[in-house]
Amino acid sequence: MSGQEQRAPSAEEIEAIARATLASLPPQFAAHLGNVVLIVENYADDETLDALGIDDPYDLTGVYHGRPIGEKSSMDSGAPPDRIHLYRRAILDEWVADGEDLATLVRHVVIHEVGHHFGLSDADMHGLEDEA
């Protein structure tokens, strides 16, 4: 580095990494993600933090809101769309603290949240991450 401070990546830059991650998923997963909304915000709202029992918004990098595919039924009409929320400030805080590549970190968070959409275990999510 030339001694200048790096500029923190914007929400748009994090979203671009997340969308590239989604595009890289195996077709059997990508085919079921078309209706999932991707949202990048600075922090989780208080309602989300309270629901998850999290006090510090820097402790939540992402969350899936919706019902896993295996739990859906035709009676779900009128439900809001499934959403993957990424929280920029928490991601950046972890990025700075751990020194991990930003794209790798965002990919990890996105795949973890996609895993919740499919009702996958943590082991399944690690396998999916290795494939992506």
Here the tokens at position 19 are 């969308």
The domains of the chain are located at: 11-67+82-131
DSSP 51: H
Give the pLDDT band of residue 7 (cuts 50, 70, 90). Answer: confident
DSSP 75: G
Which tens digits make up the pLDDT trace of 39-84? 999 999 999 999 999 999 999 999 988 877 666 555 666 677 889 9
Phi-psi region of 69 (alpha: psi -120 to 50; beta: other; left: phi over 0): alpha
Which tens digits make up the pLDDT trace of 101-124? 999 999 999 988 888 777 777 777
CATH topology of domain 11-67+82-131: Zincin-like (3.30.2010)
What per-residue confidence (pLDDT) applies to 97?
Answer: 92
